[in-house]
Amino acid sequence: MTNPVYILNGPNLNLLGHREPAVYGRDTLDDIKGLATARAVSLGLAIDFRQTNDEGELIGWIQEARTAAAAIIVNAAGLTHTSVALLDALQASELPIVEVHLSNIFRRDSFRQHSYVSLAATGVICGLGAKGYELALEAVRAILDKKSAA
């Protein structure tokens, strides 16, 4: 079996379904994990789905992924817009990275329209709610297939 796809979620995403549902939707993080798990199975992928409110822990997981994961899907939440350290860890991973945001960050506050994560990402999916995680898994499957065919 190949290494799993790490799906890493940042601060406050544990509050999904309750925090600003008009912006982030009514799906909880457990709902999203269920959708992602089902989609991963249908694509022949294994996932390791995690959430933390701690920047250091998120960076540690990215460093772990460097040797343990096939790819990273990351919703860094508020750290997206602030963390150069997160960018450095993602770049050092040398893995395919798909950045996901539930909301369309380009229709929000100006400070949310900049993403350090995007500088390391292979691709970005935003504004499609929980469906974005499923689409990110489809993108990872295509990236990994292309990589193995090369």
Indicate which residues carry an active-site annotation: 24, 101
pLDDT at 134: 98
Query: Does 12 score more than 70 pLDDT?
Result: yes
Supply angle C-alpha 83, 136, 97, rounded to 5: 40
**Beta-sheet pairing, 123-126 with 5-9:** unpaired
| Average pLDDT value over all residues in the chain | 92
Asked if 82 and 108 count as a contact pair (C-beta separation under 8 A), the reply is no
Q: What's the domain range around 83?
A: 5-149
Domain count, the chain: 1
Query: CATH number for the domain including 87?
Result: 3.40.50.9100
Starting at the edge strand found earlier in the chain, the sheet holding 47-51 runs 47-51, 5-9, 71-75, 97-101, 123-126
Query: Does 1 score more than 70 pLDDT?
Result: no
Question: What global pTM score does this model have?
Answer: 0.93
